[in-house]
Structure formats: structure tokens, C-alpha cells
């Protein structure tokens, strides 16, 4: 998959995020061409990185929002098999 451009509008970002719903970490990684480590306990930031890639976040160094032109910082939370935050 080619890395998507940064979304131009908040609505575009929300649509992209909605499209990710229901995908497993493995499915998303495969779509993005990213290898998933066998032990995710030592890859704490993997899901956040995958989400940033899939949503078109610009690579950044340091502090600041993931989508600066929209003023939006992306946050991920762990969920269980039923999709309930843990």
C-alpha cells in the first residue's frame, strides 16, 4: 500500500479512521507492508505507528500534533478481543 497523503480536512481523517475499524493489528500491518513482531509486549508503540501511517500523519520529530494543519493529536488505546478498552 502506498502511504496516503495527509488528510486535508477533519472529516477526511474521521472517515479514514472509521475505515480502520474492525481490522486486527496483523491485517493493518499487512496492508501497510509492515512486519509485526512475534511478541507485541515489547512493541508498545506499534499500533500508534501503524495508525499514523494508515491515516497519513506526517512524520515528525518532537512534540506537537500528528496532524498539525488540523490541530489534531492521534491517541490509541489498547482494547480486548471484544473491542472494549482495557
38 contacts 60 by C-beta, under 8 angstroms: no
CB count, 10 Å around CB of 55?
Answer: 21
Region 36-63: mean pLDDT is 84
Q: Residue 2 — pLDDT band, cuts 50, 70, 90? A: low
If DSSP codes are grouped into helix, strand and coil, which group holds residue 13? Answer: helix
First vs last Cα of the chain: how many Å apart? 30
Q: Which of 60 and 20 is assigned the larger pLDDT?
A: 20
Q: For residue 85, which phi and psi values (nearest 5 degrees)?
A: -55, 140
pLDDT of the residue at 81:
82
Region 59-82: mean pLDDT is 86
pLDDT of the residue at 61:
62
Amino acid at each position: 500500500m502506498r502511504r496516503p497523503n495527509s488528510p486535508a480536512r477533519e472529516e477526511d481523517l474521521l472517515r479514514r479512521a472509521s475505515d480502520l475499524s474492525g481490522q486486527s493489528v496483523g491485517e493493518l500491518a499487512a496492508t501497510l507492508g509492515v512486519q509485526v513482531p512475534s511478541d507485541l509486549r515489547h512493541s508498545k508503540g506499534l499500533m500508534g505507528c501503524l495508525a499514523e501511517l494508515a491515516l497519513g500523519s506526517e512524520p515528525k520529530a518532537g512534540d506537537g500534533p500528528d496532524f498539525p494543519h488540523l490541530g489534531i493529536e492521534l491517541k490509541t488505546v489498547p482494547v480486548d478481543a471484544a473491542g472494549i478498552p482495557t
